[in-house]
Chains A and B, each alone.
Chain A
Amino acid sequence: DAGVTQSPTHLIKTRGQHVTLRCSPISGHKSVSWYQQVLGQGPQFIFQYYEKEERGRGNFPDRFSARQFPNYSSELNVNALLLGDSALYLCASSSFGGNQETQYFGPGTRLLVL
């Protein structure tokens, strides 16, 4: 079975622009979480979605938004990009998003903001 997939793998944007990152969960998984991993740091939680509803949100500004589609894939949108948004963005999926479940991570999208 295919794992979690993310696109694109790399992205270069300039300050003030908007970006959309995409994630497809493992087949059968209904929950998707997004994390931001700044170089040299551990991942920081951004959002979790389950059955198209936002379940949780981390300490990120309103410039960050996400949605989940009926096929359980997800998009992460970031508006008005700042230099500090440069990071690896990780998507993780699980069956129901419960805390007892293991989350399976995708390879990430590397975003560079110039």
Chain B
Amino acid sequence: AQTVTQSQPEMSVQEAETVTLSCTYDTSESDYYLFWYKQPPSRQMILVIRQEAYKQQNATENRFSVNFQKAAKSFSLKISDSQLGDAAMYFCAYITSGTYKYIFGTGTRLKVLA
């Protein structure tokens, strides 16, 4: 079965510190795309970062970076210099070649402490 596991239901980080959110996934496909989405309390899901499975280089977007370990099927998100506005639910997701649906994890709630 295609699954995404986010083993940390909730995480806390001090403002300006660094935090890493974990994600593992299970697929037998070799061609797929991975995503981290942020869902603030206002509910709208916002793309944080994406990674193509065929790329070995880890994606980076400003303060957000990923650690993509394809063999281990691991896709963690690192947030550097955490800000109060980073507080949200974070969802890990992937989509495989030939399908049209994202498979989402159950999310990690990130709290940022002032």
Residues of A at the B interface (CB closer than 8 Å) are 3, 33, 35, 40-45, 48, 55-56, 58, 88, 90, 92, 97, 99-100, 102-108
Query: Do the beta carbons of A42 and B91 come within 8 Å of each other?
Result: yes
For the complex, what is the distance from the CA of A106 to the CA of B44, rounded to whole Å? 6
In the complex formed, the residue of B with least CB distance to A107 is B44
A33-B106 CB under 8 A given contacts A42-B91, A104-B47: no
CB-based contact A99/B96 at 8 Å: yes
- A99 pairs with B4, CB closer than 8 A: no
Q: Are A40 and B106 in contact (CB under 8 A)?
A: yes
How many of chain B's residues touch chain A, expressed as a range? 20 to 34
B101 and A45 contacting across the interface, CB-CB below 8 Å: yes
By the criterion CB–CB under 8 Å, are B96 and A102 in contact?
A: no
Q: When the two chains form the complex, which single residue of B43, B96, B102, B105 contacts A45, counting CB atoms closer than 8 Å?
A: B102
For B102, the chain A residues whose CB sits under 8 A away are 33, 35, 43, 45, 103
Q: CB-CB < 8 A to B4: which residues of A?
A: 42
A83 to B105, CA, bound (A): 23
Q: Chain B contacts of A45 at CB under 8 A?
A: 101-103
Assess the B43–A56 pair: CB atoms within 8 A.
no
Q: What A residues does B50 contact at CB under 8 A?
A: 102
